[in-house]
Structure 1
Amino acid sequence: MNMFKVMKDDIPELPLHNTNNRVIDRRSFLQKSSLGAAALLLPKLPRFAKETAMGIVVHSYGFRWNLKVESQKYRGFANALELMEHCHQIGAGGTQVVVSNWTNDFSKKVRSSQEKLGLYLEGSVGVPKNATDLSRFEQDVINAKDAGMQVLRTVCSSGRRYETYHSAEAFQQLQKNALISLKLAEPVLRKHKMKLAVENHKDWRAPELERMMKQVNSEWIGVTLDFGNSISLLEDPMNVIQTLAPYAFSTHVKDMALEEYADGFLLSEVPLGKGILDLPRIISICRKYNPNVTFSLEMITRDPLEIPCFKNEYWETFGDVPGSDLARTMRMVRQNKSATPLPRVSQLSAEEKLAAEEQNILACLDYSRNTLGLK
Structure 2
Amino acid sequence: MDRRDFIQKTTVGAVALSLPVFPDYAASHRMGIVVHSYGFRWNSKADSPAYPAFTDALSLLEHCHQIGAGGVQVVVNGWSDDFAKKVRTRREKLDMYLEGSIGLPKKPEDVSKFEQDVRNAKEAGAHILRTVCSSGRRYEAYHSAGAFQDLRKNALASLKLAEPVLRRHKVKLGVENHKDWRAPELVGLLKELNSEWIGVTLDFGNSMALLEEPMTVVETLAPYVVSTHVKDMAVEEYANGFLLSEVPLGKGISDVPKMIDLCKKYNPAVTFSLEMITRDPLEIPCLTNDYWSTLSSVPGAELAQMLRLVRQHAYPSGLPRTTPLSAENKLAAEENNILECLAYSRDKLRLT
Q: Tell me by how many angstroms 1:359 deviates.
A: 0.2
Alignment of 1:1-375 (within 5 A): 22-26=11-15, 41-45=18-22, 48-49=26-27, 52-375=29-352
Aligned equivalents of 1:340, 1:228: Cα separation in 2:
21
One-letter amino acid of the counterpart of residue 72, structure 2: T
Q: Tell me by how many angstroms 1:340 deviates.
A: 2.0
Secondary structure of the structure 2 residue equivalent to 1:361: helix
Secondary structure of the structure 1 residue equivalent to 2:129: strand
Secondary structure of the structure 1 residue equivalent to 2:30: coil
Q: Tell me by how many angstroms 1:80 deviates.
A: 0.2
The Cα offsets for residues 92-145 of structure 1, whole Å up to 9 and x where unpaired, read as: 000000000100000000000110100000000001101011011001000101
Secondary structure of the structure 1 residue equivalent to 2:175: strand
- The answer (yes or no) to whether the contact 1:45–1:293 under 8 Å persists in 2 is no
Q: Tell me by how many angstroms 1:43 deviates.
A: 1.9
Across the aligned residues of Structure 1 and Structure 2, the Cα RMSD in angstroms comes to 1.1
TM-score, normalised with respect to structure 2: 0.95
Aligned equivalents of 2:322, 2:13: Cα separation in 1:
42
TM-score, normalised with respect to structure 1: 0.90
- The answer (yes or no) to whether the contact 1:80–1:97 under 8 Å persists in 2 is yes
Q: Which has the higher contact order (CA 8 A, sep 6+)?
A: 1
Secondary structure of the structure 2 residue equivalent to 1:191: helix
One-letter amino acid of the counterpart of residue 243, structure 1: T
- The answer (yes or no) to whether the contact 1:94–1:119 under 8 Å persists in 2 is yes
- The answer (yes or no) to whether the contact 1:206–1:243 under 8 Å persists in 2 is yes
Structure 2 residues without counterparts, runs of 5 or longer = 1-9
% of aligned pairs identical?
68
The total of aligned residue pairs comes to 342
Aligned equivalents of 1:187, 1:346: Cα separation in 2:
44
